[in-house]
Structure 1
């Protein structure tokens, strides 16, 4: 008769129950259909209300500015990718610090995690934009720090804290019997962690990690407030370039939303599949 050990619930379910935890991004195909319908209906209504043959139709305007908007959206993707990469590396070490036997290291890791996890992302962006210099002089070399790179650093900090919680939750979700069995076989604590516990917990960390990346991608639009020329900033420039055409407002921002949906929906779909596949059961 096998012993049953208590385990933590799937990490995403745990995050949903924790105050301040990141929500799970749930997307369905009908979200994209609604966005496409908003673009079509608002464009048709705007063209009918204008009734001027000298002005290009709204859909024609969107098609004309699509290359520029896609270039800005590419910057959003670049910011999200770099922020996630930096935050994942730093967060993995911070998460291991949360479970270390050393009390001072554990306390310092907890303070850093709680501070950056609960700090508003926009405030961290403002700090990075205005506190970091525009240029760093290293000997005879000058390294430029453009606004988008500061945004990468600013977004990597909350990602680091959330990844630390993901690592902590993933490791603690492994039944205690795994630690006890490894110890009885003569493994050191480091060997237990790296050879036995972490390989099992990675699959449980993957769904919330992917969910965090999807949320981060949509949050890169915050960079527009600090002057980064990403897709939302460029959408505003398109509106200014088209002159006094308020009828473009709803279609163009719905178009931007559709871009984000097309990119993040496969991530959200894969996250839900992995959640069901790696669901932890008592």
Structure 2
């Protein structure tokens, strides 16, 4: 291999392999720092999805015409309001799950840098447990372990399935936000801590007034990336019976009883998620370029 490289390039280095390797190395290091995988949506992904939907719709249209059935676009248009309503429910679940996970994860991330070993070790264990647990398993645990209702002072307070699903999805978000906060705090130069200590700031004052404000621009891109991943993961709620877009799509297909509508309807759901997540991915990329931290 070395001799072949010397004969072809006059050196043992293969420069054609270096740019991809460097990009993969940078991407892997960012993923380890952020604690979440990178969301790499491109415009051509949406074009492929739209092409698949159109081709499947055309095939279903031809089959429906041969069998004297209503066209696929007519069937799809009839159910679009219901599917969009279910998709908005997915977005609502993602908002609530992200809010709960961010609040809990921020506290957990600060606990990971505590000076008390029991607090630091306990928060690290909780973070790693929920970060490496399957999202669907956590969802099932919340669905079957939490009660369906509470009794408070003689009143019955219902605890619906979508609330339990939101809590189940917020647990892995909490763990990933914890890693994002920990990584951002530890990326701040130690001189900031030393300067605050020289000004007689307490550790709490240093964190709240100096360190965490500087962490916001470092945490924002991976936080938005995590939100996009959570949005796409909300379809897991369909497994436990929550009436979101996937559940409604399955019910619509059962009501229509037309196998040729399978790909157009699911392709339409894919297109909805892409149109919502693609702008987030592009905006995240712009924030990464704007808030890049040069070490």
TM-score, with length taken from structure 2: 0.88
Q: 1:129, 1:147 within 8 Å by CA — same for their partners in 2?
A: yes
Which entry has the higher C-alpha Rg, 1 or 2? 2
Secondary structure of the residue aligned to 1:51 is helix
Q: 2:280 aligns with which of 249, 267, 282?
A: 267
Q: 1:113, 1:164 within 8 Å by CA — same for their partners in 2?
A: yes
Task: Kindly indicate whether residue 194 of structure 2 is the aligned counterpart of residue 160 of structure 1.
Answer: no
Alpha-carbon distance, 1:13 to partner: 5.5
Task: Kindly indicate whether residue 211 of structure 2 is the aligned counterpart of residue 197 of structure 1.
Answer: yes
Matched ranges for 1:135-214 at <5 A: 135-214=149-228
Alpha-carbon distance, 1:39 to partner: 1.0
Q: 2:64, 2:71 within 8 Å by CA — same for their partners in 1?
A: no
Task: Kindly indicate whether residue 137 of structure 2 is the aligned counterpart of residue 123 of structure 1.
Answer: yes
Matched ranges for 1:1-282 at <5 A: 14-17=29-32, 21-52=35-66, 54-243=68-257, 245-282=258-295
CA distance in 2 between partners of 1:60 and 1:108 (Å) = 56
Alpha-carbon distance, 1:74 to partner: 1.2
Q: 1:69, 1:235 within 8 Å by CA — same for their partners in 2?
A: yes
CA distance in 1 between partners of 2:40 and 2:77 (Å) = 29
Q: 2:97, 2:170 within 8 Å by CA — same for their partners in 1?
A: yes
Q: 1:12, 1:207 within 8 Å by CA — same for their partners in 2?
A: no
Sort the Cα spacing of 1:168 and 1:251 in 2 relative to 1 into closer, same or farther, 3 A. same
Secondary structure of the residue aligned to 2:66 is coil
Instruction: Report how many aligned residue pairs link the two structures.
Output: 270
Alpha-carbon distance, 1:220 to partner: 0.4
Q: 2:225, 2:280 within 8 Å by CA — same for their partners in 1?
A: yes
Alpha-carbon distance, 1:12 to partner: 7.5
CA distance in 2 between partners of 1:50 and 1:264 (Å) = 33
CA distances 1:190-225 after superposition (whole Å, capped 9, x unpaired) = 111111111111110000000000000000000001
Alpha-carbon distance, 1:164 to partner: 0.5
Listed as ranges, the gaps of 5+ residues in structure 2 are: 1-25
Q: In angstroms, what is the RMSD of aligned CA positions?
A: 1.6
Listed as ranges, the gaps of 5+ residues in structure 1 are: 1-10
Sort the Cα spacing of 1:12 and 1:167 in 2 relative to 1 into closer, same or farther, 3 A. farther
CA distance in 2 between partners of 1:24 and 1:61 (Å) = 37
Sort the Cα spacing of 1:16 and 1:84 in 2 relative to 1 into closer, same or farther, 3 A. same
